[in-house]
Amino acid sequence: KAVARRCANDMGMKYEDCRFIVAHMGGGITVGAHRYGRVIDVNDAIAGEGPFTPERCGQVPISQVISMCFSGAYTEEELQKMTSGTGGMYAYLGTNDLQKCERLIREGDEYAALVLESMAYQVAKEIGAMSAALEGRVDAIILTGGLAYSTRFTGVIKQRAGLIAPIKIYPGENEMLALAQGALRVLRGEEQLLTY
C-alpha cells in the first residue's frame, strides 16, 4: 500500500481514488488488486498461489503434488522445503539470486533466460487476473520489490502486461519507510490506528 500511495501521489491523485495492480516481487511474489484504498484481491504466495519466484514453486498441478505426498519418497519437511525455500528459480538454476541468473544469461545460458522469462510471464499472467478483479479499469500497474531492479525482468512484464495500464516501477523493499509513513498518517489524523 505504501508504494501504491507513493505512485498515486506521483500521478497527482489520492490512493483512495485509484485502481492499481501492485506486484511486490522478491523471494515471494504477490500481485494485488487495489481499489479505492483497499486491497480487494491478492494471491497468497506463502500458501503457494501465483507465479513461481526465486525460491517458491508457485501454483503447481495438485494431482502430481498428491502423488509426491503419498509416494514415500519424501518427508513432509522435504516437500515443504521444495515448495518454499528451494523451489522456483532455485530449483531450476541452483540460485535464488536474479543477478546471478542474469549473469548466466549474459554468458549465453539459454536455459537461464527461459527461467527468467517464464517467471516474468507468470507475473504478467497474475497481473492479467487482477485486471479482471478490477473490471479492466486500472490506473496503473506498479512493480516493486527487489526483482523490480532488473530491467530485463520488468521488460518482459511490460511487454506482456503493458497494454492493460501504464507500468510504474518502484524498486526495492521500502518496509521501514512504509512503517514510518503509516505512523505519520495516524499522528496527523489522516488514518485510524488499527489493532490486529
186 or 108: which leads in pLDDT: 108
Distance (Å, rounded) from C-alpha 89 to C-alpha 101? Answer: 9
Going from the C-alpha of 170 to that of each of 90, 151, 187, the distances in angstroms are 24, 12, 26
Distance (Å, rounded) from C-alpha 44 to C-alpha 139? Answer: 23
Residue with the three cell numbers 510504474:
168
Whether pLDDT at 185 is above 80? no
Whether pLDDT at 176 is above 70? no
Picking from 174, 191, 173, the residue whose alpha carbon sits closest to that of residue 182 is: 191
Sheet holding 140-145, edge to edge: 38-42, 29-35, 19-25, 140-145, 167-171
Whether pLDDT at 175 is above 80? no
Picking from 77, 74, 21, 70, the residue whose alpha carbon sits closest to that of residue 50 is: 21
Mean confidence (pLDDT) of the chain: 93
45 or 166: which leads in pLDDT: 166
**Single-letter amino acid, residue 28:** G
Three-state SS at 168: strand
First to last CA, the chain: 17
Whether pLDDT at 178 is above 70? no
pTM of whole model > 0.95?
A: no
**Single-letter amino acid, residue 106:** R
Question: What are the residues facing 42 on neighbouring strands?
Answer: 32
Distance (Å, rounded) from C-alpha 154 to C-alpha 49? Answer: 20
pLDDT, tens digit (0-9, with 9 covering 90-100), for 114-157: 999 999 999 999 999 999 999 999 999 999 999 999 999 999 99
Average pLDDT over residues 74-91: 93
